[in-house]
Amino acid sequence: MKNSKNIIEILDSKYRTYLEAEGKWLNEGFKGVFTDKGEQKENLKTPIYLMLPKEIRVYVDQLLSDEGRLTSTV
């Protein structure tokens, strides 16, 4: 899933400063927020997701809701 991979890349890029400072506990970056089944809302690791700052959670939700529109146009 190319678009799914892009979600992690987008998050890692946008919140690089967070990952380098406060987000060091996310050892693999935002890849650790999702299960191995893919980067979709139903595959979020809820406890990890809830530990993220609200601003990041809101952006993750936005990316995941936009993903359906992205894949349908590709």
Q: What is the pLDDT of residues 8-19, one digit of tens each?
A: 999 999 999 999
According to DSSP, the residues that pair with 34 across neighbouring strands are: 44
pLDDT digits (tens, 9 = 90+) for 42-69: 999 999 999 999 999 999 999 998 765 5
* Residues in contact with 71: Cβ distance below 8 Å, sequence separation at least 6, in sequence order: 1, 3
Domain ranges within the chain, ordered by starting residue: 2-73
Backbone angles phi, psi at 31, to 5 degrees: -60, -35
pLDDT category, 6, cuts 50, 70, 90?
confident
Structure tokens at 15: 């919140």
If you compute the radius of gyration of the chain from its CA atoms, what whole number of angstroms results? 12
